[in-house]
Structure 1
């Protein structure tokens, strides 16, 4: 079975959760800071996050928070967005991601490091589109980590002045939805960052008719 066929077959019959729960899937290459970003978003150390020669996250995990009276489920993902991640174990973790995010994610949060949008990031985006379909871009937000390294006055200026055509193309494909996190921020700054991301997500969900993203996987 191909990856999508395997997932479609194995996710059939998965139990959905309340439509009142928003689900965010953190996607991107290994080492981009997905787990640390998830912890910042949740306001607690839900996911293991540390520097290492090998990826720390080996399995999909989920943590939840409350935002404006709504439950938000944040799903951290292992390194199954690289081209080599096509073995049975990777398929099992992809299937787990699909089950956790049933009936579909409200946001795919693509995590990439500020100043380092590389060929690996580009391949990870390609893999996301292979798995979730091109329609997933309408539900995607680009989130830059290492906001503290920003060398210009604003993130908008960084994107505008960037000579990375692949990065600019990605942001355009995502409807110019992007923000940045300092995952070592003070509690006050953390709250401001989360508020910005949630505001972007809320506008995006409204633009998508209030619906989560669904395709044949769900």
Structure 2
């Protein structure tokens, strides 16, 4: 199969919305595994290629609505699978009320790619049996301002399928066969409008360069592997390298969160101790407690809490008091930074 003429199509939408069923409808066979409720947490980007009506098509199933720790590898996998860029994006939604949750998915798509990506996008609705009898999708979209605005940004392109009830339906509109044929024609129109080009950005271009370098390296030692096999393995190698490179970064993020939480706890402890001591020494509005006396109380309690001896001469200004409090905290922060560096170095070695 000539991969250079293959249309790369990315399916975007929440897990469970019906992307895998839509992909199987497009291919006319079950090449994508359907997720049930027990599989929702384990979803990851998958890609399959097949010839459909004389077109070579690669479908890439991805989920933009992941939590931060899961989204990063999901996005990396999607980018490596569709590099150098997708010819079309299918944004998959259910026929249901357009809520803030659906809007959040669209926002995430625009963040992962860009607003410009919507020029290559088609809105595809699943659960078409929820459409009122005799109503077409265009009319349904007009009833929601959020949906209407979204479809307009996508050039007015929208289609609908039903993965359960329209499989063997021969009716013109309420038929998956009819809708898939219309969808493929729409994708052809997108490709034509963009002069055969595809959506790309800096991230996709960088990944494609890495894949091509890996392909060249593999050709020198791959023996009799076909170009398709080399390309597939190169993508896999680039993804693994990027995932490994990204892992220390995420470890540092988690460590920073832990450090921040630790520092907040320490500062809170100091405040509680200092407040308790000040309250004992003098009421809140006791004007007889001078600045030097307050500073002495603060320094004494800070030193006691952190196991340090307070200076003999306490500072007499508010700025000096704050500096005394923050100095041990800064030492703790620096210590945690050293620990983070050593953890990262250990990760790299292992």
User: How many aligned residue pairs are there?
Assistant: 196
Matched, 1:146 2:131: no
Residues 113-152 of structure 1 mapped to structure 2, 5 A cutoff = 113-152=94-133
1:48, distance to aligned residue in structure 2 (A):
2.3
Task: Specify whether residues 138 and 57 from structure 1 end up closer, same or farther in structure 2 by C-alpha distance, changes over 3 A only.
Answer: farther
Q: Secondary structure at the match of 1:55?
A: helix
Q: Please report the RMSD computed on the Cα atoms of aligned residues, expressed in angstroms.
A: 1.9
1:168, distance to aligned residue in structure 2 (A):
0.8
1:85 aligns with one of 67, 77, 81: 67
Q: Secondary structure at the match of 2:49?
A: strand
Higher relative contact order (CA 8 A, sep 6+): 1
Q: Which has the higher strand share?
A: 1
Runs (4 or more) in structure 1 with deviation over 6 Å come to none
Counterpart Cα distance in 1 of 2:18 and 2:97? 12
Counterpart Cα distance in 1 of 2:107 and 2:3? 30
Post-superposition CA distance 1:158-177 (Å, at most 9, x none) = 123x1x21111100100100
Task: Specify whether residues 120 and 169 from structure 1 end up closer, same or farther in structure 2 by C-alpha distance, changes over 3 A only.
Answer: same
Residue number in structure 1 paired with 2:160? 180
TM-score (norm 1): 0.82
**Unaligned ranges ≥5, structure 1:** 1-16
Q: Which has the higher helix share?
A: 2
**Unaligned ranges ≥5, structure 2:** 205-350
Preserved contact between residue 26 and residue 180 of structure 2 (Cα < 8 Å): yes
Residue number in structure 2 paired with 1:9? none
Residue number in structure 1 paired with 2:27? 42
Counterpart Cα distance in 2 of 1:57 and 1:39? 20
Post-superposition CA distance 1:113-165 (Å, at most 9, x none) = 012322111101000000101110000000000112210422222123x1x21
Task: Specify whether residues 56 and 46 from structure 1 end up closer, same or farther in structure 2 by C-alpha distance, changes over 3 A only.
Answer: farther
Counterpart Cα distance in 1 of 2:42 and 2:169? 25
